[in-house]
Amino acid sequence: MEKPLTQNIRPDREPLDIREYEQAGGYQALRQALQMSPLKIQEMVTDAYIRGRGGAGFPTGKKWSAVPMGDKARRPKFFAINADEMEPGTFKDRLLMEGDPNLVVESAIIASYAIEADVAYIFLRWAYKLAAQRLTKAIAQAYEKGYLGWNILGSSYSLEMYLHTSAGRYMCGEENGLLNAMEGKRPIPRTRPPHAVMVGIWGKPTAVNNVETIACVPYIVSHGSAAFKALSHTEEGGTKLYGVSGRVKRPGIWELPLGTTLGEIFHDYAGGMRDGYQFRGLLPGGASTSFLVEKHFDARMDFGSMDKTGSRLGTGTIIVLDDKTCPVGMVLNLEQFFARESCGWCTPCREGLPWLRDMLDAIERGAGILEDLEILQEHTWLLQLGHTFCALAPGAVMPLDGALKYFREDFENHIRQHRCPYRH
């Protein structure tokens, strides 16, 4: 099976340096891309039907085709590569940036060319020190080789690229929070419309895409949309980085056809549960997705199929809940994160999340009452999409909703026994 994202990545080895990367076929896609028009690349990306890997699954071709193009577009235009990866349970972009930094840089150049961006920023998470070092080197070498800067490879296209390292805030990864953070403001969302593609960083057209999303683009350019679509098991194109963490035999990350089933990833790749532990449930794609249970093992891990389960693909990195871990405690841990990271801009989230956290804390300690469960359930509606200014709070209530659905007796046991049955 072809692995366009991880073909150069060898665990426990230094990443390819730029010369080795070129020898492995690197930067050929950029040469090919520069022979095509930007609109042609947009069209290929649309046909490839790649949905955004940052978690929301927005079709990338559709986003790019909304960017104003040609002489009349306001300049400079920006491309922001979202490398803020802070979704709990997610460790996929780290692999790409540490494992094949040249691929990330080449991808960013091609993506920028496709929207005729003048400046690209890689917006990197503060904690990713090794990725920062390796990307800095890859960018510098790309300049030396003429892949960045003025008249790239003798073409009329020019691009500047910079690494921006953040200082730790989940909301910086939210598309509009990121725009504000780039401008040196607090990462609170912006009113839409206008969307970033029209009015983004410093008011100029800006495309924001996840690292894994753009990393698919060189393959699409060199092999074509049909080949990219053929990599997957469903109508959504490509491969996907799937990860598994928790008490499984082999926690890890694998590049597999998009639409691989949940059960296959859990059993065949992660090896099932560690000895002495039973499976209870899992979050399929990071903290802001809803729980799934054993009956979902046949479901495909693509955006469309996951939506049908009542959960979401999210980031595609699975977090496993075992039988010795308290589901109430796990949801409390998640809501603690979301409450802490709420930007405070809108009331339902700013007030609601700490409230949920405190209520879960009370239940976990054995101080809850049955009516609390109704209030919790009510909040999964109150904080849903459309009621808040951004997707943080709607994401926050997803695992809560799933836990109330599948682990309700655990909540009730805490309340009836006035203690956490999992603590001895």
Ligand X SMILES: Cc1cc2nc3c(=O)[nH]c(=O)nc-3n(C[C@H](O)[C@H](O)[C@H](O)COP(=O)(O)O)c2cc1C
In the complex, which residues of this chain contact ligand FES (CB under 6 A)? Answer: 88-89
Using rule CB under 6 A, residue 376 touches ligand SF4: no
| AA identity, residue 410 | D
* Euclidean distance between CA atoms 100 and 222, whole angstroms: 18
Question: What distance lies between CA 404 and its chain's CA centroid?
Answer: 25
Helix (H) or strand (E) run with residue 163 in it: strand 160-165
Min dist. Cβ of residue 377 to ligand SF4 (A):
19
User: What span, in angstroms and rounded, lies between the C-alpha atoms of 78 and 183?
Assistant: 12
Q: Nearest approach, Cβ of 397 to ligand SF4 (angstroms)?
A: 11
Which of the choices ligand X, another protein, ligand SF4, none does residue 53 contact, using the CB cut-off of 5 to 8 A by kind? ligand X
Q: Which is nearer to ligand SF4, 350 or 419 (CB)?
A: 350
Nearer to ligand X, 113 or 279 (CB): 113
Instruction: Pick left, alpha or beta for residue 275 (phi over 0 → left; psi -120 to 50 → alpha; otherwise beta).
Output: beta
Are 176 and 197 within 8 A, CB to CB? Answer: no
Does residue 54 belong to the site contacting ligand X (CB under 6 A)?
yes
Name, in order, each residue with C-beta under 8 angstroms of 37's C-beta and a sequence gap of 6 or more: none
Minimum Å gap between C-beta 385 and ligand X is 10
Give yes or no for a contact between 330 and 343, defined as CB atoms under 8 angstroms apart: no
Using rule CB under 6 A, residue 387 touches ligand SF4: no
What letter would DSSP give residue 291?
Answer: -
Our finding on whether 86 is near another protein (CB under 8 A) is: yes
Decide: helix, strand or coil at residue 372: helix
Q: What sign does the CA torsion over 193, 194, 197, 198 have? A: positive
Q: Is 343 in the site for ligand SF4 (CB under 6 A)?
A: yes
Q: Does 92 bind ligand X (CB under 6 A)?
A: no
The entry of another protein, ligand FES, ligand X, none near residue 43 (CB within 5 to 8 angstroms by kind) is none
170 is an interface residue for ligand X by CB under 6 A: yes
Q: In terms of CB distance, is 232 or 315 closer to ligand SF4?
A: 315
Q: Does the protein bind ligand SF4 through residue 390 (CB under 6 A)?
A: yes
CB of 316 to ligand X, least distance (A): 11
Answer yes or no whether residue 86 interacts with ligand X by CB under 6 A: yes
- Alpha helix ranges (H) inside 117-270: 129-144, 175-182, 211-215, 217-223, 225-230, 262-264
Say if residues 281 and 291 touch (Cβ distance below 8 Å).
yes
Determine phi and psi for 355, rounding to 5 degrees: -60, -50
Q: Which residues bind ligand SF4 (CB under 6 A)?
A: 171, 189, 342-346, 349-350, 388-390, 392-393
Q: Which residues bind ligand X (CB under 6 A)?
A: 52-56, 58, 60, 82, 84-87, 170-171, 173-175, 208-210, 213, 390-392
Q: Which residues bind another protein (CB under 8 A)?
A: 85-91, 93-94, 121, 125-130, 162, 164-170, 181-187, 202, 243-247, 251-253, 283, 287, 317, 319-322, 325, 329-330, 333-334, 336-337, 340-341, 343
